[in-house]
Structures are given as structure tokens and as C-alpha cells.
A and B are shown apart, each in its own frame.
Chain A
Amino acid sequence: MTSISEAPEQQFRIGMLIYDTRYRSYTIQIIALMAFMLAAAWLINNAIVNLAVLGKTFSFGFLSQPASYDINQRLIDYTSRDTHARAALVGILNTLLVAVLGCLTATVIGTIAGVLRLSKNWLIARIMTVYVEAFRNVPVLIWILIVVAVINESLPVPRDYCRTPEQLDCLNPVLGSFVFTNRGFYMPIPVFQDAALAVGIAFVLSVAAIVWFRRYARAKQEATGQILPVFRISLAIFFLPSILVYFVAGMPIGLEYPKLQGFNFQGGIYARDSLIGLWLALSIYTGAFVAENVRAGIQAVSKGQTEAAFALGIRPNRTMNLVILPQALRVIIPPLISQYLNLTKNSSLAIAVGYMDVTGTLGGITLNQTGKEMECILLLMAFYLAASLSISAVMNWYNERVKLRER
């Protein structure tokens, strides 16, 4: 206390803002902040001035005007009389659809390819190397165009489908209900009757039962060391009750098959050539990157871990599941997040093949018909930013769960 009160009152001088280490960092930060704000103000002012020079107003009123154009793939009801906002929403859902499908498939393809690349089988390992190098070194736009061109040019048009003798698959009772044309793929759609509710309830109950059984098995293993055949019993609980109820309730779930009517097939689920092409191309392209992440993750776990597990008498597949993978995931997940983000952003190439994602509706036709470039591009940026941050948030939460906890 005394030493502080006795210290001579130091007079504050302007020079201390630079020469005194106590203030210097604040000075630099304030200057940087001011420069940043000036730059931002200049950009905004410039936008306002130039919009005025072009005679354009800045408003989002156009979003409530009728869009007047049609969209082929709609996950929600939409007609050309609906608003631009709804057209944008249709596009957003299409983007999310292809992004989710793409991320799932890319993960599966990438994991398989990554593990196989470490295979002791020379041929398989080399084939996977070729896959990874070929796909990640060619631009994804080219892959998208290639896949769609192959679908368009090689598959039959709907009205010629099953007319030529070499298409023997058409006669096959299982394969025959799937239709592969150059306009996309059709598959049967389940049709639910009232009694289908019972099947649904049985299914939900059996899933709950599986969760309970797994907890029970784990508790038992921890208490007694006895291991139950969890996978086989789970599988049985998953299928048997639902199938039983299905037959007891008089088969209330039917299938609606696609049929050729007029120009196109009608009925069933229709996956357009553009969706298939975009989905497949994004998946195999991103899958090549994921494969490298997976390989790196597995190789990051030192060989000593495997040897230690074997020394304790743990069998190979349990070693993989309980020892290697949990540690490898910690390395795999952070780069996986950026691959998911890349895939989502790459989906904006959709318009190249006529897939109406949000870039095609809001950033394409709406922008073009209304001339609201600034507004549309800003909205588009806001959407992709929000989507990317959401993916990051979810994946970071997952990463937090699997990461090494130091005690």
C-alpha cells in the first residue's frame, strides 16, 4: 500500500501512447479499428452512391411479388403465382437436400476408400490411390457436367424405355420397378393406409427397445464382464416386430410403381437427372478428400496402440472399434468439417446442370427478372454464411464430444 501511494504522480503525456508499453497495444488497436470502420463506411457509402447513380433503389419489397416462373423440383408446394420469397425457399430446400445427401454419401465413400487405401492388398490400395488422385485433382464442375452428360446421353428416353430387347432388367420383378431414364430415376413410393399407423408404432417401440437393450448390455458388461451379442439381437428387434405387425394388420403399406403416361413416367419417387448428377459428382469428389482425412486419421494412431490392444487379448475388430477409431476420429473430424462446408458451397454449381438450388432461384431467375442484384446477392451470401456456420456449430459440438478429455 505505502509503496503505491508514495510513487510520484506520473504526468500523462501524448508520447506515452506510443512509447509506453502500457498504452501502446490500445493505441494500435484503436487505430486498426478506426481504419477498419473507415474502410467499411467507404464501401457502404460507395454502394449507396453508385446505386443512386444507377437510379436503383435498395429494398426487399420484390420478395413479396409473384415469381411468375416454374421450378421443376419442389419439396414444398409452389406454383408460378407464389412469391419470390417462396421460390427462394424452394431453392434453399433443394440446396439443403443435395448438401445433406452429398455429405452422407461422401462420408461413406470417403471412409471406405480411406480404409481401403491402407489395405495390405496391393491392387486395392493402388486402385484407391488412383480414385483419390483422379477425383480431387479435376475441378468438381467438370465432374458434374460429365456425370449428367453420361446420364443424358447413355440412358434411354422415357418413351423408349423397355422397348429394346437388351434391357432385360425391365422383366426382373425387383429391378423392373425401378426406372432409369435419361431424365432421371424413378422408384416405387410406399403408399400408407390407415392401419399403417400400427406398423409405425411398432417400429418406434422397437427402436426404443434397442436403445434400452444396448444400455442394459453395457451395464451388464461393466458389472459382470459378460458380453452379449448386441448387434444380432438389435437387428432382430429392429425388423421382426414391425414385419409381424405388418402382416397381422393385413399388409397396410403398398407400393406405387412409376408408369409411363404421355411424355414421362408418372407416380413413384422421381429423382431428376440434375439431382442425381450433382449428388453423385459432389459425393465422389468430396469423398476423395474425406478418404485422405480418414487415412491420415488412422495413420496418426501409433502402432503401439494396436500392439498393446492385441497384447491384452482384444480381437482385431474390437481393437478397431474401441481403440483405433475413437482416437482416429479426433484427427478426422476437424478437417471433415471443412469438407462438409466445401460440399455445401460447391452445390452452388447446380445451375450448370439445371438443378434449381438457391443460387438458381434467388441468385438466378429472381435476380434476373427483378434486377435486384445487390439485394439478391446479399441474401444469398447471408444464406450460405448461415448454412456454413450451422454445419460448423453441429460438427464442433460433435468434435467436442469425441475429443481427448484430459483429467
Chain B
Amino acid sequence: MKVKGAVIAAAAVLAVSAAANAATLDDIKAKGFLQCGVSTGVAGFAYTDADGTWKGFDVEFCRATAAAIFGSGDAIKFTPTTGKTRFTALASGEVDILYRNTTWTLSRDADLKFTFTGVNYYDGQGFMVPKALGVKSAKELNGATVCIQTGTTTELNLADFFRANNMKYEPVPIETNAEAQQKYLAGACDVYTTDASGLAATRSTFEDPKGHIILPEIISKEPLGPLVRHGDDQFADVSAWVLNALIIAEEFGVTQANVMDMAANTDNPEVARLLGKEGEYGAMLGLPKDFAVKAIAAVGNYGEVFERNIGESTAIGLSRGLNQLWSKGGILYAPPFR
């Protein structure tokens, strides 16, 4: 069951012509919808609501990409993937793009043959423990039982962290966030470790979120972003520039509410280029002229997506931190739209 993705990929390589096609964008247009790989369920990032509609931070970036291509954020099919199945799902063509809290690393970029097209969330690995344990620092975790999601970079960071600090631990490998949550709450592990954003998201769904603390140590850099298959620069550019467009939109105050108005009446040259009033930037990407207008109309700018799904007003309550615009003290920096 759990190696299904891998087996499918191996079988795909063995039997049928694989989907490493150069013209992904043409294929997507021919299909009429975008296939987006998301996680199996992390509150705030990717989850289904009571009606079965996909919601969340990563999901909205998928929708923005679909809107840029088709003009509607609903021309999309979501595929939930686990930490283990996500890469094979992308490599085998089961999904076109992966927005799944995936850390940008050299080996994934070069060896697994994927292209990371940007960073939509700058994160780092943290630890969550029940308050009752009385642990104040990750350095006090010697001998603890730690729940980890298998097939992730957190697994490797954890091994390095405990090794570097000369501490022992008992890893409990787990497939999905939901299973990890159940084990952690049952006390089958003392600590749950994943990206700090994921910890905050998971904690927000607990019956008693205040009974659990996230330890101050952040033990790794985890730039999370979208990735596509290697070797299709056109689609990689599309995915990169949809993300950039949402960041630039926040920078220039273009919002979901005023985007139509701005598209018609703006006199700021960068906004005019962004919203397709000036130049042929959409055509360069193989997209409609007003692709950014559609993307912003579908989900809003980066700041709006952040606040609506994981911001301080939500149950998850993450502050912008590193994910603030470069001009406001963060490191979110999109190249110029020209």
C-alpha cells in the first residue's frame, strides 16, 4: 500500500511510455485542468473542508497557477501525496506541479531531476512537546522517543542534530501528519518534529493547543516551494512567475478586491506590466495577456493568501517573520516584472 507510488513509478518506467514530456503546458491545456500534488492534510496548508473542497495556503497557490493558465482557479485536480509518494507522483506525470511543503535541496534539484521554481514559505524544523514534560530546550531531549514523517528532510536533519549534540533518541517513522498526531497525542512519542509551520498547524487542531509548546530551537533551513519536472523550462517559468506575480502584487498593493480596477486604471508602469496593460509578458510565458489578473482575482496577493490561511488572525496564528516582503524586513523578494 505504502510503496504504491514507487511501484507505480517503477511500473511506469517498465511498461508504458513515461510522462516526462517536454511540453507540459500544452498537455495541461489539452487536458483542460492542472494536476496539483498537495499534502494529505495539514491544517492551514492543504486540507479539505466539510464539502470536500480543497483549502489552504499551498492549495491557493495551485489555484492561482490554474487561474493563470485557464482563467479559473477551479480548472484543477488535487492529488494528495505523502512525503514518500510525492516525488514519484511528480516524476511519473501523475501530477504536473507539486505544492507540498517540499524543501528545496541540491539533491532533489539535481539528482531527483526536479526544478524548484521559487519559495512560497521560508521555514525551519522545530520540535513540539507536551508542556507537562517540562522540557524547555531541544538539548534536553536525550533518550526521547521522536515521531517523524518518513521520507522527508526532517528525518535526516533529526539524525544530524542528535548526532551533533551527542544525544540518543528513538525514531518512530510515520507516514502522514494525521497518524503522527494520533501517536503523539496518545503519548506513543514524547516529541513531534517537522517544519515549525507544520507544528503550529497541527497544534491548532488539538483539543488543548495550549498544553503543547514548540521548543525555541529551529534546527534547519527549510525553504518550501513549488517544484516541477526537470527539463521543461517553459512550465517552470510559468510556475515561477505566477508565484512572483502574487508577491509583486502585494508589493504594489494590488489585491483581490482592487485588481480589476487597477488593471483598467493604473498608471504605475510595473503594475501596468504585471496586469497586462502594457507589453506582451503573458505571451512570453505561453499564457494569456492578463494571466496575473486572473491569478490575483482567484486568490488575492501573497499577503492575502498568507493572512487568510495561516496568518495571525487564523487558528494557526503564524506571524509573517521571514516571509514578510523584503521592503518590510523579511526576505520575500521577487525579481522585477519586465
Contact = CB atoms under 8 A, between A and B. Distances in A.
B13 A374 contact: yes
Contacts of A371: 87, 91, 107, 111-113
Interface string A49-73: 0110111100000000000111110
Contacts of A367: 3, 6, 84
Contact of A50 (B7, B17, B160, B170): B17
A373 B158 contact: no
Contacts of B88: 373
Contacts of A352: 1-2, 175
A356 to B, nearest CB: 7
A348 B88 CA distance: 19
Interface stretch (A30-38, A100-108, A201-209, A256-264): A256-264
B160 A68 contact: yes
Interface string A174-197: 000000001100000000000000
A81 to B, nearest CB: 8
Nearest to A73: B170
Nearest to B10: A377
Given A43-B15, A351-B173, A360-B173, A56 B142 contact: no
A352 to B, nearest CB: 6
Contact of B1 (A50, A53, A141): A141
Contacts of B3: 348, 351, 359, 363-364, 367, 377
B212 interface: no
Contact of A351 (B13, B156, B162, B175): B175
B150 A365 contact: yes
B159 A374 contact: no
B266 to A, nearest CB: 43
B174 interface: yes
A368 B84 CA distance: 6
B311 interface: no
Interface string A346-389: 00110110101001100111011111011011000000000000
B183 interface: yes
Given A359-B3, A363-B3, A371-B87, A50 B151 contact: no
A157 interface: yes
B6 A376 contact: yes
Considering residues A56, A71, A273, A349, which has the most beta carbons from chain B within 10 angstroms of its beta carbon?
A56
B18 A182 contact: no
Given A43-B15, A54-B20, A351-B175, A152 B169 contact: no
A363 B111 CA distance: 18
B215 interface: no
A169 interface: no
Nearest to B135: A263
A46 interface: yes
B171 A365 contact: no
A356 B174 CA distance: 10
Contacts of B111: 370-371
Interface stretch (B59-67, B186-194, B324-332): B186-194
B145 A263 contact: yes
A354 B184 CA distance: 13
Contacts of B160: 68, 80
A158 to B, nearest CB: 8
B169 A70 contact: yes
Given A152-B186, A351-B175, A369-B156, A51 B13 contact: yes
Interface in A297-351: 348-349, 351
B131 interface: no
A55 B231 contact: yes
A364 to B, nearest CB: 6
Nearest to A351: B2
A200 B230 CA distance: 62
B257 interface: no
A264 B170 contact: yes
Contact of B187 (A182, A351, A359, A363): A182
A153 B186 contact: yes
Contacts of B189: 183
A152 B185 CA distance: 10
B149 to A, nearest CB: 11
A263 B143 contact: yes
Contacts of B282: none
Interface string B218-236: 0000000000001100000
A68 B105 CA distance: 15
A47 B186 contact: no
Given A55-B230, A70-B159, A354-B173, A364 B2 contact: yes
B113 A365 contact: no
Given A263-B144, A369-B156, A53 B174 contact: no
B143 A262 contact: yes
A375 to B, nearest CB: 10
Contacts of A273: 188
B190 A263 contact: yes
B163 interface: yes
Nearest to A370: B111
Interface in A98-146: 141
Interface in B272-296: none
B94 interface: no
B140 to A, nearest CB: 9
Given A263-B145, A360-B150, A363-B6, 20 more contacts: A46-B14, A50-B18, A54-B13, A55-B20, A70-B169, A70-B171, A262-B142, A262-B143, A263-B141, A348-B3, A349-B1, A354-B173, A364-B150, A364-B173, A368-B83, A369-B151, A373-B10, A373-B13, A376-B6, A377-B10
Closest 4 CB pairs of A and B: A157-B187, A80-B159, A368-B151, A371-B112
Interface of A: 43, 46-47, 50-51, 53-56, 68-72, 79-81, 141, 152-153, 157, 182-183, 261-264, 266, 273-274, 348-349, 351-352, 354, 356, 359-360, 363-365, 367-371, 373-374, 376-377
9 contacts: A43-B15, A46-B15, A55-B231, A264-B144, A352-B175, A367-B6, A371-B87, A377-B3, A377-B7
